[in-house]
Structure 1
Amino acid sequence: MADRLGFGWEFIGTILCGLIFAIPIGIAYFIVRFVQGRVEKRKEKDIDEHTVI
């Protein structure tokens, strides 16, 4: 019983640690992609403005 409980908690701890590390990385990834999208749109606007001139 104790062995199974220990294994269970170890498994749950591993999952929790994985989530704790994965969540900030996931948020950072989405922020980076969002910022890159904004920058690319801005670059396209600049290119359009330059071609008009």
Structure 2
Amino acid sequence: MEPRVTSTTESLEVMTMESAIRRAHLTGRGAWVESLDPRRGGLLRAALDRIEWP
């Protein structure tokens, strides 16, 4: 089997998708924390908002 060569565009698409999945996961975890402790959840949400996502 020959190794698969990926294009730069395909690599960027995969990285963007992984970033979106990671962001959704962390946002969900933050919402869970906020449901238990609104102050801590708000701090976490603020920290996530400062991240420059691709």
Structure 1: 4+ residue segments shifted above 6 A: none
Judging by fraction of residues, say which structure has more helix.
Answer: 1
| Gaps in structure 1 of 5+ consecutive residues | 1-18
Give, in whole Å, the separation in 1 of the partners of 2:11 and 2:33: 33
TM-score normalized with structure 1 length: 0.58
The CA RMSD measured in Å over matched residues stands at 1.4
Structure number with bigger Rg: 1
Greater relative contact order structure (CA < 8 Å, 6+ sep): 2
TM-score normalized with structure 2 length: 0.57
